[in-house]
Structure 1
């Protein structure tokens, strides 16, 4: 984009958007809400430029109040200089709208489904050392999602507790657009990407579950535990209390896969990734061969 085009377009360049998000703590500078709009503190119609220092984040309510003249520009500027989320260290909780008597969590093409059996049904698709990294509770028509994402230093950066979403301001970038939440560790490095599909489905196709030296990579078509090169694809679990259960748990959990003992921190990640590439290539080759065989038989 040329400088002239930049000055005549209301579309804020993506690098400037990211700089604004980082400076504002990934939320409305006044209330911390993770749903926000980019607001030019200097009216764009007057200056016709996109400068990160002149742009802030406002939720829909505060954006409408500013536009309508109910929220003074001075208040916005003051909040911009000391954003809510940076003061608090975490974002304002946002309530996700999940409900129903059935639910599905899809992780790397693996499906975990659950239905309310009438006595508070729970499911834990992924757990490490007794910490459920993602789970749900079904009770009285409510679908309660729970999730925690840790960084490489074992610090929690994203929480969903009974549908209440909040996050810290430590990650490099956090962006909630439409139904998709992305947490990035660096440029082109996704920590987790979640697609919320209300009323009763959650899809995770990219990211990493990290905990106590365990790394669980999520791809669009598989899950890879890099510590011991465990590859999981195409699995379906229904009303199974546990899914992938890693490490020590004081209470035994029924699951479709348990990895009790595996190397921590010292796993050969390069070998695991090589194994994943070879396995997926073999799977695709077999699938293609089977398809060709079926076509020949039909003819």
Structure 2
């Protein structure tokens, strides 16, 4: 099975490349191969390579920068996935695109279900929501996979930031009123492959799905878990989101209801504590 991946060095794209083997052949496109600011080039890349499925693991993820770079975020997060979805529909091949909890308002205190109304509070969230709408409208076999708090041994993410800051400081103040499920990029990559394989034989399972790690936690408690597992003696003090203002508003409730993903594909929520253990081993933590 030949899978074309948009994205090359990002967290999920890196983990998808690691899945390349006899059963699944992964071709990951870097910016030089397909510039996401040129949606037509993305569609042309699909036409030229004739894959069995396509996974979009690329996005404009600079959440705060997007507030002042709206046009670029719109092209990369909405227009490019729309072009990809249309090309996949024309070839009748599955298309999986990774989305985000930011499409929701972040209010309430119960997990968001895939059918819940979206109400993004940031440019990033709005452009990702627009991409979702365009993918559904394309009319092909597809899955939008919303996830949250992505972490890995690659790129920039909360785990790596905490390891760096924890080694430099004796104490940190971390936001404690934002709740969600940390999700390993490796587990997201595996889920994407399972989904595209299923959609080849069962196109009726097309739809919007959720996938996040369990159990739900706060950023502050996640930081404590990282320091404990890495054996870093850094104290964590809880603070509210109002004490850490950012240009883009973060959802306070990022809990995702993942039951339909389990029912449709047999993919259960991964334990982020196990994901964290694997990530720390790759990063050579705890240090001797």
TM-score w.r.t. length of structure 2: 0.25
| More helix, by proportion | 2
> Quick check: which has more Rg, 1 or 2?
1
Q: Which structure is higher in strand share?
A: 1
